[in-house]
Structures are given as C-alpha cells and as structure tokens.
Amino acid sequence: MTPPGFALQQLTDTDASVETPAFADLLIDAVAAGASVGYLPPLAPAEALAYWRSVQAARAAGERLVWAAWSGADLAGSVQLDLVQRPNGWHRAEVMKLLVHRRFRRRGLGRALMLAAEAAARALGRTTLVLDTLLGEPSEQLYAGLGWQKAGVIPQYARVADGSLQPTVVYYKLL
C-alpha cells in the first residue's frame, strides 16, 4: 500500500527521462548519508546525472524498470528492477538502487517501492529476485520483513567513505 500523501509511479517507455536534477539529488542525498550505492561522498551532480543517463539507456533498451515515489512535485524515492537478458535468466531480476530521500524516510515508502517492484516482477514471470546491500544497514530489516532470504556475506566488497572495505549481504526472494 502506498503511504498516505505519496504517489507511486512506474515509469513507462514514454515517460520523461530519469536524467534529471531531481533523480540526481536523490542519489546524492543517499550517498551523502553514507549509503553504499556505488559511489563515495561527495557525489558531484554531473556524476549523478551520468549514472541516471545510464539508467535511461537501460530503460530505453527495455532492460530496466524504474519506479518513482512522489510527494506532490518532489521526488521522494525510487527503485529499479534490472531484467536479466541472458536466456538462462529470463525468470530472474535484480532489485537495484532502492532510495528514499532522507526527508521522507520511515513512512513506509521503501517498503511500498519494494512491493511495487516485486508485483511487477511476478507479473513478468521474473520469479527469482536478487539484491545486495551493505551488512548491518537498516535496509536489511526492510528486506527481512518482506520475506527476503540471506544467501551469504561477501567480505571486503565495497569501499565506504572512511576508506575501509565493508562486507555486503546477498539476498534473494523466490516469488
């Protein structure tokens, strides 16, 4: 269920690009708050926009689904589903870049975005879902609460802001 005051939107082929300052700000905010989402702080707007340009290209190729959560005109969150293209993985997808802006956290948006992505995956026959997240992040509680299973921990996976290498946890969910 979408939390009151928010609107969830699955971007369609014809929807506007995600290569916009609002999407860039969402990623910059998460990185600034210490999230391990591929980048180290400070993340420059141009680098964030370049990331969303790559997402836009994946969308255009039909390989990526993107959701946006809105609070009025403000982008409050987003999540992506990467559809595996290789023939042995047509039943598989990876949940990527679950992001909720700090201004809008702990209101159920992360959970709602995950449920939207899972529902779309199920409808597409993408019944094996995977994701990874830094060990000990709050997102672990979110995933566990939604029935995701912990496959294992990979040590020294991601560099974080203080320069150290931190472990990541791989999760899966069979729909």
Ligand X SMILES: CC(C)(COP(=O)(O)OP(=O)(O)OC[C@H]1O[C@@H](n2cnc3c(N)ncnc32)[C@H](O)[C@@H]1OP(=O)(O)O)[C@@H](O)C(=O)NCCC(=O)NCCS
Which residues of this chain interact with ligand X, rule CB under 6 A?
A: 30, 35, 37, 97-100, 105-111, 133, 137-139, 141-142, 145
Nearer to ligand X, 11 or 77 (CB): 77
Torsion sign, CA atoms 88, 135, 160, 49: positive
Residue 53 CB-half CA count within 13 A: 6
Nearer to ligand X, 13 or 98 (CB): 98
**Residue 103 CB, nearest approach to ligand X (Å):** 11
**Residue 14 CB, nearest approach to ligand X (Å):** 27
**Residue 88 CB, nearest approach to ligand X (Å):** 25
- Nearest by Cα to 38 from 53, 51, 20: 51
Nearer to ligand X, 89 or 145 (CB): 145
Nearer to ligand X, 63 or 137 (CB): 137
**Residue 117 CB, nearest approach to ligand X (Å):** 12
Beta bridge partner(s), residue 131: 171
Separation between Cα atoms, residue 53 and residue 101, nearest integer Å = 20
- Nearest by Cα to 22 from 81, 68, 59, 89: 68
